[in-house]
């Protein structure tokens, strides 16, 4: 996914304000889910929401006003209740690494209580579903 850097994205020195990278990660995750046939709006209507429980960033170089960044997103790990998305952001022309990091998300129901990741989400993302214990 591409992100063009506008003046509003930068600090007074014309460098991307550090917190904006989290916004770019969020956009990229939504884009990634869309590309895998998952609509965040439809999931919410079906009673599943994503919540970020951990985010990490490592700043590698400055991005400046006028540049275009490319955000790559991959699913790194999964468990029964969380998915970790890994992100790297590079400047489009030079491929210079600007930021890399990850965000771990859980799924919650309409009450806000953490629940297992729905099998349709795991399947769409190409992640193995946990084996369920057989009833006794």
Give the 3-state secondary structure of 70-96: EEEEEEEEECCCEEEEEEEEEECCCCC
Q: Can you list the domains of the chain with their CATH numbers?
A: 2-124 (3.10.129.10)
CB 69 within 8 A of CB 2: yes
pLDDT digits (tens, 9 = 90+) for 69-102: 999 999 977 778 899 999 999 999 999 999 999 9
pLDDT digits (tens, 9 = 90+) for 4-15: 999 999 999 999
pTM above 0.85, yes or no: yes
* Residues in CB range of 60: below 8 A, 6 or more apart: 96, 97, 98, 99, 100
Is 11 a catalytic site residue?
Answer: yes
CB 85 within 8 A of CB 78: no
CB 83 within 8 A of CB 125: yes
**Catalytic-role residue among 11, 34, 78, 130:** 11
* Residue 51 confidence class, pLDDT cut points 50, 70, 90: very high
Comparing CA positions, the residue from 108, 100, 105 lying closest to residue 73 is 100
Report the C-alpha gap between 105 and 40 in whole angstroms. Answer: 13
């Amino acid at each position: 996914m591409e992100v063009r850097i506008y003046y509003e994205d930068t600090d007074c020195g014309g460098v991307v304000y550090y917190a904006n990278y989290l916004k770019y990660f969020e956009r990229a995750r939504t884009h990634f889910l869309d590309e895998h046939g998952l609509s965040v709006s439809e999931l919410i209507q079906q009673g599943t929401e994503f919540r970020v429980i951990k985010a990490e960033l490592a700043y590698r170089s400055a991005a400046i006003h006028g540049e275009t960044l490319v955000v790559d997103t991959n699913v790194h790990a999964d468990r029964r209740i969380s998915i970790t998305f890994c992100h790297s952001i590079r400047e489009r022309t030079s491929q210079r690494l600007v930021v890399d990091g990850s965000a771990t998300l859980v799924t919650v129901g309409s009450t806000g209580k953490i629940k297992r990741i729905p099998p349709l989400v795991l399947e769409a993302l190409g992640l193995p579903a946990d084996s369920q214990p057989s009833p006794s």
